[in-house]
Amino acid sequence: MRSPTKRASHHPQRHSSQHRFEEQHVSTETVTTPGNTPHLERQLSNRHIQLIAIGGAIGTGLFMGSGKTISAAGPSVIFVYMIIGFMLFFVMRAMGELLLSNLHYKSFSDFAADLLGPWAGFFTGWTYWFCWVITGIADVIAIAAYSEELWPGVPLWIPGIATVVILLVLNLATVRAFGETEFWFALIKIIAIAALIIVGLFMIFSGFQSDAGPATFNNLWSHGGMFPNEFMGFVAGFQIAVFAFVGIELVGTTAAEAKDPEKNLPKAINSIPIRVLLFYVGALIILMSVTPWTQFQAGHSPFIAMFSLAGLGAAATIVNLVVLSSAMSSANSGIYSTSRMVYGLAQEGDAPTVFSRLSSRKVPQNALFLSCILLLSGIVLMYAGKDIGKAFDMVTTVSAVCFVFVWSIILASYLKFRSRRPHLHESSKYKMPGGVPMVWVVFAFFAFVLWALTTQPDTLVALLVTPIWFILLGVAWIILRKRPSHLARYAEFQKDLAGEKEVAEEKALADAELADAKASREN
């Protein structure tokens, strides 16, 4: 590929380059590759992308895990969620700028492979796949457990298999069916949180009384202050709450299937701060105002407790249904993201070729079957023994640590992008705020989170076993990287990216010329 310096000397061809850029960026339904290879279709509309982003930001942890977080950190948990949300917003903005710099990037593993090298794409793609497979297995187990509460006596394997079959059928249809399903799952979560906030505000302003005392905003600071468990309690909040944000990057795996990504991805990413403030901070403020934080316990849903206080007898059933749909949403996201990631890895030569094939509906069905077969292993694990709950606590912690690795790779890719392609950054209409200095601030925050994980025995064990995964990946990479089939497919991947990259760079230079000409006229 020509260097930017050489390309700059071909200004007489600027008009044709600009025309070619416009031709390649017309919004179409199907994404094609230079060789007319079947590719993923752009079927996800703005409302799908927006709700997928919301679904990724609101995890099951908010409904069931917030009791543990509140009991550990007290009211300071409000600041915990605000800080985590603030930091991850910059990760998402860096991801957005990179994805939009080359519309042939299907996900963040693609730009990692392009900017940091093929090893980064391999490690990022397979680590992200591993994260979601583990999370998906845990979700299948959770769905079976919630189903047993709603329908006592039902054999655990029935809801487990039913979940996997339903999600497989929905994902095999079209990507639009996935988007539609995720849209309604996310809407259920939004309605549940909105209902909690409205009911809670009514209880506060109506002077509601319970055995724990009156519902008032004073409860936030009248039981030991905002930091009742001091600094280490505040730290404990981080090592629990960071897991609630797992999946926030999910919108980045929709890049190849989003309609008008240059418009819809930024809208979804920019709404992250509002979502965090409303759905996490707003809900927690209401919960701890209605009931003092000292009443919350790990393993008990604060949502069920508050609706029960309000005299809504069906609260347990309603919240169980909401949590069930939340777990279904997470499993749905897991099946979608793992299948797309394996499809991308196969295209780059990092996974068997069989997973790079699309069905007639432009869906990576072989990759979907792989994900679903692995999710079925959750049903086997349900019958493995009584300590499976503890084992899954540790495994999902490993998964969350791996998510921190993926977020870090996104930021490392951004740093490389800034140094290698400054002209693309300058022409970008969606620059990451704070730039390079903010990347190092977020890296420092991730270091703090890893340190926080060492302060609790269960998360420390998970942190210590995580390197095993990366050792296994390293061995696989050493075996794979020299294979002719891998080298050939990676070369094709680079060729595919180069066409779009060249057009983007030519447009950047054309935009710079226009800006210079405009400045000259004004002077």
Which of 174-188, 199-213, 249-263, 323-337 has the least mean pLDDT?
249-263
Given a cut of 50, is residue 224 above it in pLDDT? yes
Percentage of the chain beyond pLDDT 90 is: 9
pLDDT value for 417: 93
Given a cut of 90, is residue 182 above it in pLDDT? no
pLDDT value for 438: 95
Task: Calculate the average pLDDT of the chain.
Answer: 76
pLDDT value for 181: 76
Q: Which residue has the tokens 């209409």?
A: 429
pTM, rounded to two decimals: 0.77
Tokens in use for 293?
A: 């934080």
Q: CB–CB of 331/167 below 8 Å?
A: yes
214 pairs with which residues across the strands? 209
Report pLDDT digits (tens) over 92-117: 899 988 988 887 777 788 888 889 98
Report pLDDT digits (tens) over 343-399: 878 877 777 888 877 777 777 888 888 888 888 877 777 666 555 556 656 766 787
Q: Exposed, middle or buried by CB within 10 Å (0-12, 13-18, 19+), for 292?
A: buried
First to last CA, the chain: 36
Phi, psi of 30 (to 5 degrees): -120, 135
Residue 214 DSSP SS3:
strand
